[in-house]
Amino acid sequence: DAKTTQPTSMDCAEGRAANLPCNHSTISGNEYVYWYRQIHSQGPQYIIHGLKNNETNEMASLIITEDRKSSTLILPHATLRDTAVYYCIVRVGSGGSQGNLIFGKGTKLSVKP
């Protein structure tokens, strides 16, 4: 079973920031938080991941709480092409033997004009 909890759906206005929350209260010390998104009928796309520090790349920012029990993915300026299902996944990373990704239901983000 997935070890994360996400809202089923969210709406966001085009051009505004989209903040997608994720709860992972049972995360272990060696587990990373990964975010992927899946646009309809395509394979999931990697967005970002982090362990405990906040991370930023060209796609998004990841804010992880100090206790690591929750995180927020931020798309700073959402566009219509960001409409997708967003998955928050905890996973043992950096060479751990249990490296697979277990998907939950994710959050369906709808960006509206």
Partner 1 sequence: GAVVSQHPSWVICKSGTSVKIECRSLDFQATTMFWYRQFPKQSLMLMATSNEGSKATYEQGVEKDKFLINHASLTLSTLTVTSAHPEDSSFYICSARDFRGGDTIYFGEGSWLTVV
Tell whether residue 28 is a contact of partner 1 (CB under 8 A). Answer: no
Tell whether residue 46 is a contact of partner 1 (CB under 8 A). Answer: yes
Residue 40 vs 67, nearer CB to partner 1: 40
Among 45, 54, 65, 79, the residue binding partner 1 under the rule CB under 8 A is 45
**Which has the closest alpha carbon to 107: 4, 9, 17, 1?**
9
CB of 99 to partner 1, least distance (A): 6
Contact 33, 63 (CB under 8 A): no
Alpha helices, DSSP H only, in the chain? none
- Count the helix, strand and coil residues of the chain and give each as a percent rounded to the nearest 5: 5, 45, 50
- State which of positions 89-108 bind partner 1 (CB under 8 A): 93-96, 99-106
Stretch that binds partner 1, among 23-31, 40-48, 62-70, 71-79 (CB under 8 A): 40-48
Tell whether residue 53 is a contact of partner 1 (CB under 8 A). Answer: no
SS3 38: strand
Cα angle: 95, vertex 67, 64; to 5 degrees: 65
Which residues are at the interface with partner 1 (CB under 8 A)? 34, 36, 38, 41-46, 49, 87, 93-96, 99-106
